[in-house]
Structure 1
Amino acid sequence: MRAAVVTEFGGPEVVQVQEWPEPVAGEGQALVDVELTDVIWVETAIRRGAFGDHFDVSPPYVPGSSLGGRVLSVGAGVDEEWIGKTVLGRVDGFGAHAERVVVQADSLVEVPEELNLETAVAAIGDGFTALLIEHAAPDLQGKEVLITAAAGGMGLLLIQIAHQAGAHVVAAARGQAKLDLAKAQGADVVIDYTTPGWEKLVLDATLGVDVVFEGAGGKLGAAAFSTVKDGGWFSAHGAPSGGFAEYDPAEAELRGITVRGIKDVQADSQQVSKGDVIKRVLAGELVPVIDRTFGLDQLGDAHRAIENRALLGKSLLRIR
């Protein structure tokens, strides 16, 4: 079968479509004929060789984790009723960007007939994390909420969540097209964080924020942290600027600011289900924005577009 393979650590050009061993469903597993997969920023960093202390992977490997497709077969201990169903699934580790993929059957979620697969795949990964963050956050009603990386796949969902909860939403992103998109999703104020001293514009608009959903990382994250009121809440879950938000833990403790990182979100994973994401999508409460769908042989182009911050919302990979 064909798969997109990271042949060595490096730039997007190291991704090549190759013949890859045909998988077989083992006990507790299902074999999925993959139609679409999600493409996310962290996969581009891993391809470059970053985050080796978090992800045990070495080339050659097939990247990708979240997928959508049709169940072809199941292994021992799995109900054969799954066969033929259109599902969402997640690979343990990596391997989703391939024509056929084995997943743990307990990770499968059936896609309702009234939901198209593109929307489901675009929503499931970012939506799951966004709902975990929402679950952990304080009540947003009437609060000042700052969202960075606001025009990314998850940033847009967080705007929708905060807006529906009755927050006053400040969205920070890069460039007018992204600001316009954030505004269309429910942001009350939009700020371009390429503007020097952009955090002062946040303070002018809010007199300090109660909650920050920080998806940019690095120095942008540090600037976002400086806008939080004493006693506020700060989610440092994104790192596309090269690392998670820079802040002083001693200052956070002194000012009574609660800081939660990506590991805290992952630790709460039993509090939200993928079924919850699907319900929110069907209710129109989570509406993923898909910018581009790339072909299997264009995964390198998808990585390049993500790294160049050229996308408005999500990118997907069409396997067939």
Structure 2
Amino acid sequence: MKAIVVDEFCDPATVSTQVIDPPSAPGAGQVLLSVSGVGVGYFDGLLIRGDYQIRPNLPFVPGSSLSGRVEAVGAGVKHVSVGDTVAAFAMHGGMAEQMVLPAASCAPLPPGIDQLAAANFFISWATSLYGLREIGTVAEGETVLVLGASGSTGTTAIQCARALGAKVVACASSEEKRAHCLGQGADVAIDYTADDWREQVKQTVGGVDVVYDPVGGELAELALRLLKPGGRYLVVGFVAGIARIPLNLPLLKRCSIHGVNWGGSVMADPGVVPPVIRTLAEWTLAGRIDPAPTGVFELDQAGAAFAALFERRSLGSIVVRP
């Protein structure tokens, strides 16, 4: 079968397909999936570069957030059956035509959910919903500021915040990206490269209740200063570098900083998964969110998909179709 294989840590834009042996039959507690789509995210790219905190053994197949059809189940598997469509998570292994993974990593999807749309459920969508609802406790009528709002992580945060009844201020660097954010449901789109971007936010909405930050770097402190008393700062990522925030600020502003580590939360307590995936499916069917990817690449175009992501040319979510 065809798969993306990483023999040495490298630039994600250079990955290519290889023909490898198909997976063995699933063992106890496992399932065999025919992969329909794989989300493309920074986590996967960092694994390919060898820059993530945990390095996989070489060689490996990247791809962590996926959707597919169950082809076979091992002994003891009860919650999914052959023929089911599922959203699934694996540390790696998804960018292949088939893969075997623990059944516990699979969440069955109801009829009517497009499989390519569900490919990003387990990473960007789940991170956004879990971060905003469970950690950020976003309430109806509150204001959420989203940094890096035009990418996969930011786009899903815009839509989830809107579905929770919040007002959304999206920060993006170009007119095209800001237009994309408004199309995703943001109430306001701000150019964070402008010298007065914080003043623009203040003039538009005053302070904000929640900051959703997948960017980090120098923007972090500036965004935190926009929080109202009781505000929550959600640390989601650090694509612009690890932020340095003076810890007197949370004290003076009476706000709090929270890490959103969806993968770590899932490993610590798999029970957090069903309500999140169930809500995403319900919202999709009700039309409250639209998880359809804005970019679909074939398996042999995976390098181009990663290049678009890391060069910040992509808008919304990206999916590779094996």
Q: Structure 1 CA distance, aligned partners of 2:125 and 2:118?
A: 10
Which one of the candidate residues 112, 118, 122 is aligned to 2:120? 122
Structure 1 position 233, deviation (Å): 0.9
Aligned mates of 1:90, 1:124 — CA distance in 2: 6
* Alpha-carbon distance in 2 for matches of 1:22, 1:253: 55
In structure 2, the partner of 1:69 is 68
Distance in 2 (CA, whole Å) between partners of 1:29 and 1:261 is 31
Using the TM superposition, give the Cα deviation of residue 283 of structure 1 relative to its aligned residue in structure 2, in angstroms. 1.6
Indicate the residue corresponding to 2:145 in structure 1: 146
* Residue 11 of structure 1: aligned partner: 11
Q: Look up the match of 1:193.
A: 192
Letter in 2 for 1:240: V
Change in Cα spacing, 1:86 to 1:199, as seen in structure 2 (3 Å) is same
Identify which of 287, 307, 310 aligns with 2:310.
307
SS of corresponding position for 2:279: helix
In structure 1, distance between residues paired with 2:111 and 2:249:
50
Instruction: Assess if the C-alpha contact under 8 Å between 2:80 and 2:108 holds in 1.
Output: no
Amino acid paired to 2:127: T
Deviations 1:176-203 (A, max 9, x none): 1111111122222111122234223222
CA RMSD, aligned part only?
Answer: 2.3
Alignment of 1:23 with 2:23, yes or no, is yes
Given the two structures, how large is their TM-score scaled by the length of structure 2?
0.89
Matched, 1:275 2:274: no
Displacement of 1:309 in angstroms is: 0.8
Distance in 2 (CA, whole Å) between partners of 1:219 and 1:301 is 29
**Aligned pair in 2 of structure 1 residues 43, 100: CA closer, same or farther (>3 Å)?**
same
The CA distance in 2 between the partners of 1:264 and 1:256, in whole Å, is 25
Whether the aligned pair in 2 keeps the contact of 1:6 and 1:14 (CA below 8 Å) is no
* Matched-pair contact (CA < 8 Å) for 2:144–2:208: yes
Q: TM-score, normalised by structure 1?
A: 0.89
1:172–1:191: 8 Å Cα contact kept in structure 2? yes
- With 71-80 and 300-309 compared, the bigger mean Cα shift is at 71-80
Structure 2 equivalent of residue 40 of structure 1: 41
Residue 135 of structure 2 contacts residue 260 of structure 2 at CA under 8 Å; is this kept in 1? no
2: distance between equivalents of 1:163 and 1:274? Answer: 17
**How far 1:130 moved relative to its partner?**
1.6
Q: CA deviation at 1:252?
A: 1.5
Task: Give the Cα separation in 2 of the matches to 1:238 and 1:120.
Answer: 22
Unaligned runs of 5+ in 2: none
Task: Give, in angstroms, the shift of residue 46 of structure 1.
Answer: 2.5
Per-residue deviation, 1:139:
4.1
Aligned length: 315
Q: Which runs of 4+ in 1 moved over 4 A?
A: none
Tell me if the contact between 2:138 and 2:166 (Cα under 8 Å) persists in the aligned partners. no
Task: State the 1:29 CA deviation.
Answer: 0.1
Displacement of 1:41: 1.7
Aligned twin of 2:86: 87
Return 262-271 or 217-226, whichever deviates more: 262-271
By how many angstroms is 1:97 displaced? 0.5
